[in-house]
Amino acid sequence: MQEQAILIIKFLTSFASFLKHILFMKEPKRIAVVLAFAAIYIIWGSTYLAIAYAIDTIPPFLMAGSRFIITAMILLVWMFIKKISLPSLKEMRAASISGILMFVGGNVSVVWAEKYISSGVAAVIIASVPIWFVLLDIEQLKKIRTNFLLSSGLVVGFVGVVILVGVNDLFQKGISPILLLSYGLIILATITWVLGTLYTRKANHPTNVTAKVMSQTLSAGVATILLSALSGELTKVNLLSISFISYFSLGYLIIFGTVIAYYSYIWLIQIKPAAQVGTYAYINPIIAVLLGWWLRDEIISPNIISGLIIILLSIFLINYSYLRVQNRAKEV
């Protein structure tokens, strides 16, 4: 298992080195955009498995909080080296709000839920993010009544989530309350992630991408460590009992999942349409399900396959409806 993880990390290290070089170019080139998309497609798809390994022996809130705090420290050092100005208090406040929505509401909920559900199932539910982009963006919501493809995509996506969770399980009296809570938290995570992303695009955030990501992860890290303390994790954790693979996975989440992939996401959201950037939702669940099956022996049930296919169909309908609207606008 460790040998497989090391082979994967060697490949991704080379990829990350090249990606870092092109992302910091003054003028973005096509290869920079392509590799940034590759980062949010491939690396983010693998983070669900990394989270599952990390929380095997690290308490979930402590793991997530450590990830965010260390990421912020790395970016602060980078800002110092590159002489990037610290954000103003107003910019810091805006970034803190989006950071807490996206990382605490969005990511920490997933981390906690993965104690009880598989990484693949979590990733497939998170794939419904484009649905919430439509429902929570007022401008897009107005188009539902007049856009058949868009409204069809929303209905299909809802059906896919229900099938994934299992119709029988939803109405089964004996279903575990903790399992229902886990499903609910994953759905909540998709909502808060979208709210944070929309707020990021509209609020007065730091203009520098590094300063923005640093501010978001720092605020999220402080909030999550506070959650860890309130939950009693800090008094129970034993650093010597944490396994190598959990430490390894935490390091992977910090460097690849946040510093590289999330930085790429924030960079792309500023230069590309949100609907296009959101296509990572097509690839992430497929990678997560396959990696969970390959490395963690997670079961790929008919519910998972059916739910995944239907949710991906939903995302296709939503994005295709956007493309049709854009093409019509160009023709006018």
pLDDT computed for residue 263 by the predictor: 85
| pTM of the shown model | 0.82
Tokens representing 282 are 């097509």
pLDDT of the residue at 167: 53
pLDDT at res. 325: 66
* Total Cβ atoms within 10 A of residue 253: 28
CA atoms of 19 and 31, how far apart (whole Å): 9
In this structure, the chain runs to a length of: 332
pLDDT, tens digit, 9 for 90 and up, residues 240-266: 899 999 999 999 999 999 888 988 888
Q: What is the reported pLDDT for 272?
A: 78
> Cα separation of 46 and 284, whole Å?
8
Look up residue 87 and give its amino acid. Answer: P
Averages of pLDDT over runs of 10 residues in the chain (332 residues) are 58 57 56 85 92 94 95 93 90 92 93 91 84 75 65 79 63 68 90 88 80 94 95 88 93 91 85 74 85 87 84 81 67 58
Taking the chain, what is the end-to-end CA distance rounded to the nearest angstrom?
A: 56
Cα–Cα distance, 214 to 244 (Å, whole number): 27
Burial category of 139 from C-beta neighbours within 10 Å (exposed 0-12, middle 13-18, buried 19 and up): exposed
> Residue 202: what pLDDT?
74
DSSP for 71-84 reads HHHHHHHHHHHHTP
> What pLDDT is recorded for position 268?
86
Q: How far apart are CA 256 and CA 67, in angstroms?
A: 11
**Six-digit token pair at 76?**
């602060």
Residue 245 pLDDT: 93
- Report the chain's C-alpha Rg in angstroms: 20
| Residue 25 DSSP class | S
- Chain center to CA of 8: 20
Locate the DSSP E strands across the chain: none
Q: Is the CB of residue 13 less than 8 Å from the CB of residue 253?
A: no
Q: Which of 315, 245, 301 has the alpha carbon at shortest distance from 118?
A: 301
Residues 6+ apart with CB under 8 A from 132: 190, 191, 193, 194
Q: Determine the pLDDT at residue 151.
A: 75
Q: How far apart are CA 217 and CA 265, in angstroms?
A: 14
Q: Which residues contact 221 (CB under 8 A, 6 or more apart)?
A: 65, 66, 67, 68, 69, 70, 71, 72
Triad 298, 68, 285: Cα angle to 5°: 30
